Amino acid sequence: MVDSVLTLKFLISLIVFGVFLVGAVKLLLRKSRLGPISVVLVVLLGGYYLYDQMISTTSDAAVLNDVHEDSEIRSLEIRKLEFEGSTYSFKERIMIEEEETIQEILKDLSGLDLKRDINKERGGADYVLNILVSNQKENVMETGNVQIIVGKEYIDDYYKIVSEKDHLKTIKELEREVEWKEE
């Protein structure tokens, strides 16, 4: 659903860009003094806007695409990371099997607005979430592991979180309330 909404938004943007470009070209063909300037402006501004639309997404489309409403979530393991030098190491972990807590964590992570950032330096991840998920595929139940790397500002290493939502709220509460196991 989210992918189709993003695709529809992109297609509408592309159509609007095309309409403005046709108008600018008509001005150019009428030998108007504004013709060349309008073509350049439409191409530059429209190109930037379309590029921005291409690198924007949501956490539901980019990260949680394997977790559906009808998915059976068997467990969630959260591992706390520490960045030392140039490598990550696992410090502590917790296994969660209570469905209510898992749903709260997924709710915190859903609906985030993201921008792809391919120039990001390593570091900044605080947790690795391993979700054991079962999905019905035709006549077979398919079980797999969905891994999400999340920090304060980034999710899955190269998506910058641009939403103001506290996506680590439930995990921080668990850090205070539950004893974690050393690794």
* pLDDT tens per residue across span 156-165: 767 888 888 8
- Domain of 78, CATH number, reads 2.60.40
Same domain, 78 and 165: yes
Same domain, 10 and 72: no
Same domain, 112 and 164: yes
Q: Which domain holds residue 154?
A: 63-182
- Strand order of the β-sheet with 113-116 is 56-58, 113-116, 159-161, 154-155, 140-151, 125-137, 72-84, 87-96, 181-182
Same domain, 74 and 125: yes
Cβ(114)–Cβ(65) below 8 Å: no
Same domain, 172 and 94: yes
**HSE of 60 in the Cβ direction (CA atoms, 13 Å)?**
12
| pLDDT score recorded for residue 71 | 77
User: Above pLDDT 90, what percent of the chain?
Assistant: 9
- Residue 43's nearest CA partner among 55, 28, 59 is 28
Q: Provide mean pLDDT across the span 22-37.
A: 80
Whether the model pTM is above 0.85 = no
How far is Cα 134 from Cα 140, in angstroms, rounded to an integer?
10
Give the pLDDT band (50/70/90) at residue 77. very high
Report the mean per-residue pLDDT for the chain.
Answer: 80
Same domain, 16 and 101: no
Same domain, 17 and 103: no
Other C-beta atoms closer than 10 Å to the C-beta of 33 total 8
Same domain, 79 and 138: yes
